[in-house]
Amino acid sequence: MPKQGLKLAYSFAVLNAIIIGFSFLFTKVALVHAGPLDTLTFRFAASFAVMSVPVALGWVKVSYRGKPIGRALLLAAMYPLGFFTLQVFGLQRATSAEGGILYAFTPVVTMIIASLFLKEKTTLLQKLCIFLSVFGVIFIFVMKGTRIDLSNMTGIVLLFLTCLAFAGYSVLARSLSSHFSPAELSYLLMGTGFATFLIISLTAHTASGTLGNFLSPLKSGTFILSALYLGVIASLVTTLTSTYILSKIEASLMSVFSNLSTIVSIAAGAFFLNEEITVYHVIGSILIIAGVIGTNLLGRQKKAAVPAPARSLQH
């Protein structure tokens, strides 16, 4: 693989972690003005609308003729639909800290699924580095006094399923990267997310007799800015870059970068919300960074894996 393409893939992986780290902050702001489903609707409305402009003008070419649309829709069912739906209802029954701990296991779940379906291989040292990164996240939350409350079992199960959904997305997206361009996959995912969440949100408002309040959040400039960040930056940009990354490096190597978002969220909380940074934040962050670097540095010593053939995830 050309070094330039590999460097760009790793640069995008770091960028995604930074974007996702700040997305927690913008999500908190958005939820002050709108409910979870409405926030998701406007989030994907923004992403779909922004990408529709270059597609309509012909600047970005998309074509789905003769391509495995069914498997692409399965991808959309995992992310954004499955991931965000499970996350919303999971966080209603469990704490955000519990969600952070469980989300940290995403690289481990991805590694297992990728080895099963894409036949990706990781060395023992790479596995240890992935677990080191996960431990860094867990260390930070545990030192903050966070514990997983088993009485919230429904919420915990739903949040763990978000790990499965995102891991499945990472693996299937890598498989589909040989059939679709990043723009084609991203446009399909954003459009599916917008249409689905819009229908769900309007149905919920109609059932509760609050349809007149659907557009109320748009009266707030703060909400609009938050929705634009979440939709255009945290959804569209990360989906485009993730699809590119997965066409260049293994799913198991990309997924470990997700734990860097914990460091970014800590920094964002300190800078914007005056939250305290302690010694255990620093120690946990060092463990996370060491795990990410170790996993991918050791991965370079192997021959880069070729994307799995399209049939690898067919059932």
pLDDT tens sequence for the chain (315 residues):
567 788 899 999 999 989 988 887 788 888 889 988 999 999 999 999 999 999 999 999 999 999 999 999 999 999 999 998 888 888 777 776 777 778 888 899 999 999 988 888 888 999 999 999 999 988 988 887 767 777 778 888 888 999 899 999 999 998 898 899 999 999 999 999 999 999 999 999 999 999 999 999 999 999 999 999 999 999 999 999 998 998 888 888 888 898 888 888 888 777 877 778 889 989 999 999 999 999 888 765 554 444 444 333 333
Count Cα atoms within 13 angstroms, Cβ side, for 165: 20
Helix (H, G, I), strand (E, B) or coil at 264: helix
Residue pair 26/261 in contact (Cβ under 8 Å)? The answer is no
Best CA proximity match to 162, nearest among 266, 68, 274, 86: 86
| Whole-structure pTM value | 0.81
Decide if 160 contacts 286 (C-beta within 8 A). Answer: no
For 66, the token pair is: 């003769």
Q: Which amino acid is present at 56?
A: A
pLDDT digit string, tens, across residues 302-314: 544 444 443 333 3
3-state class (DSSP) for residue 59: coil
Distance, CA of 186 to chain centre: 13
Question: Which is nearest to 205 in space by CA: 2, 78, 41, 70?
Answer: 41
Contact predicate 281/269, CB 8 Å: no
The C-alpha angle 36, 37, 42, rounded to 5 degrees, equals 100
* Cβ-contact 156, 148 below 8 angstroms: yes
d(C-alpha 104, C-alpha 160), whole Å: 10
Tell me the Ramachandran region of residue 34: left when phi exceeds 0, alpha when psi lies from -120 to 50, beta otherwise: beta
pLDDT at residue number 299: 63
Give the pLDDT score at 261: 84
Q: How far apart are the first and last CA of the chain?
A: 30
Q: Residue 241: which of 224, 263, 258 has the closest Cα?
A: 258
119, amino acid identity: K
18-39: b (≥16 Cβ within 10 Å) or e: ebbbbbbbbbebbeebbbbbbb
Q: Residue 138, by phi and psi: left (phi above 0), alpha (psi -120 to 50) or beta?
A: alpha
Given a contact cutoff of 8 angstroms between Cβ atoms, the answer to whether 252 and 114 are in contact is yes
8 Å CB contact between 72 and 239: no
Question: In this structure, what token pair is assigned to residue 152?
Answer: 């919230």
